[in-house]
Chain A
Amino acid sequence: MPHVGIEYAIMLPILVLLIIALPLAAGWMMSVWTNDRMKGEIQEAANQVTSTIKQLYLALKSSNVLPTSSPIVQTLNLPTTIESHPYYATSPKSGSIKVLNLRFTLQGTGITTNSSVIFGSSVNWRSSEFFSNSSSARIKAWKYSTNNITLSFG
């Protein structure tokens, strides 16, 4: 019966290897998937933020919208965390702006993404930061009598 002994000698290590390799492979795939999903989620959140800023700007630009003394506040229907990680956006300094570039970072993962909004003339950006799990996860807008529009987070 020498063959059976050899078979067991071969099969057992293979089975042990598979027992270790399968969970590792599944874990690796899940990790890759989660990573991609997080990238997609934060990109989607970034697009939604910039899209909302753009829509707010286009709405305020209309002459039908009169100047406001208090800011118009637009809340964002975004998840506060992505896979339990909060995210934040950094914006440029205050001043006149034609293109707003925002950099979004998913805390604790090193995942970042960029999104931008192109405005017309007479737009100011007030330096501010966006934190998904705070009260700053909103967009504020002011329209002045000069038809200038100021936007910020907060």
Chain B
Amino acid sequence: MPGATIDHLVAVVIFLVATLLFVNLFSQNLQNAILYQRNSQLATEASDILDSISLSPGSLTGNSQYWATTNNIQNLGLFGLQDPNQEGYVIDPFSLMRLNASNAGTPARALFNGVWYSNVTMAPSGSYLFVPFSSVVNYTRAAQLLGINGSYGFQLAIFPTLNVSMSQVRANPLQICVTVTGSGLPLAGASLNYYLINSTNGSKYPKFQILPSASVAYTGATGSALLNFSSVNAGICAYALVVYANLKGLSGVGYLVSTHPLMTNKIIPAVGSFSDGEGNATILLAPSPSNAKLSFNATFLILCPSISSAVQLFIHNSTTSFFTVTGQLNSANQYAQIQIPNNNQTGILVITYNSTATGSGISLLPWGIGSLGYTIVYGSAIPSSSNKDWVTTDVRQVMVAGESYQFKMTLWSLAGYQTQGHSGGVGI
């Protein structure tokens, strides 16, 4: 009866295979249901955390909500980025300066004082935001204050809704092409207001002038517009162009800095302290190590949104020497220390400098993220797709210093929940 024996063996094998298949498929279906539930919770959590950050200004342990303009960041008791003077989705441009941004450039150590700086400087070159590491909130601290340290990983990205980019078309007379784009698409019909900050060699210190736009320009069908400056020869002067774009209630800002080729990055500003106790912040101006002697003119321009929604630049109280400082730097170890008002007004610190031997140059420091349309990425690196981690995102449209920004939260669980399979987080 070998035939019957084979029948039995085959039947048993088929039965066992069917049983195993059933168990496997059954558990997979159940596991998917649990994962779906957990991923749904993760999405809710992302929305909650994003609201917590964007609708709360945070505070120091003493209940002061103006933590971003103080030096004692170690006393931060609640983490939030809302502008304490506003309501709704308005983000404090100074709080954003206090984040240890993960999109920042290489950390830099200043030769003149030995302090390590978080480098938020973005391309194109010509503007700088160096903040001491002791003055920024790192990711772990923020996660602890949000109560999610060890349970969730997150990344915040704060980026302008309108991208304003520009390039020099012609040097003499100066002609610049400005392009406004949204999410990858050129935007036609955007109004452009702009200021050309022009520096030329003076008798002792560089001369400084602001040329406002004579009329509003508009982008064409390709999202671009040409700006002409008939009285400016870029071949013999340094300039910075700041352009404010506005389209149907959305606003953005971009800038372009041009200096003499031998004068690029010769004076670099860095934040010394956020408060001197008298309502001022201290900015340090450091010369490039190879430079011999530089004369500079540092002027703080305050941004004032006008009724027509176009931003206006003002040299605040220019009749005094307080906000316009001139000086000379003679060696790499020497630095100048200047003060700018720290009264919740955003602005741009413009440093024009020159050397008798060569030409002139310009450096910008945005006082408040948003003044120059910086992007900030803060938090941990997003897990790669090969890890199969479930990552959820949520976005809010916010305002930062009068500019339209998008505030994107990316959140993932650190408990090991994955899009498929499992690594210990799921019980089945």
Residues of A within 8 A of B (CB): 1, 3-4, 7, 11, 14, 18, 22, 25-26, 29, 32-33, 35-37, 40-41, 43-44, 47-48, 50-51, 54-55, 58, 61-64, 98-99, 116, 118-121
Contacts and interface: CB of A to CB of B under 8 A. Distances in A.
B12 A11 contact: yes
B27 A29 contact: yes
A66 B44 CA distance: 29
A44 B41 contact: yes
Contacts of A1: 1
Contacts of A64: 87
Interface residues of B, number: 41
B51 A36 contact: no
A44 B40 contact: yes
B77 interface: yes
Interface in B18-34: 19, 23, 26-27, 30, 33-34
A29 B30 contact: yes
B5 A32 contact: no
A43 B59 contact: no
Interface in B54-71: 55-59, 63, 65
The 9 closest A-B pairs by CB, nearest first: A40-B37, A33-B30, A36-B427, A121-B63, A36-B34, A58-B55, A51-B48, A116-B147, A120-B56
Given A37-B37, A54-B52, A22 B19 contact: yes
Given A4-B1, A118-B78, A29 B23 contact: yes
Nearest to B16: A18
B111 interface: no
Given A29-B23, A47-B44, A120-B56, 6 more contacts: A4-B4, A33-B30, A37-B34, A47-B41, A99-B147, A118-B56
Contacts of A3: 1, 5
Nearest to B49: A118
B287 interface: no
Nearest to A63: B87
A11 B40 CA distance: 47
A1 B146 CA distance: 76
Nearest to A41: B37
Residue in B59, B77, B427 with the greatest tally of chain A CB atoms within 10 Å: B427
Nearest to A11: B8
A7 B65 CA distance: 82
Contact of B426 (A36, A44, A54): A36
A33 B56 contact: no
B4 A33 contact: no
B414 to A, nearest CB: 15
Contacts of B427: 32, 35-36
Interface string B121-159: 000000000000000000000000111000000000000
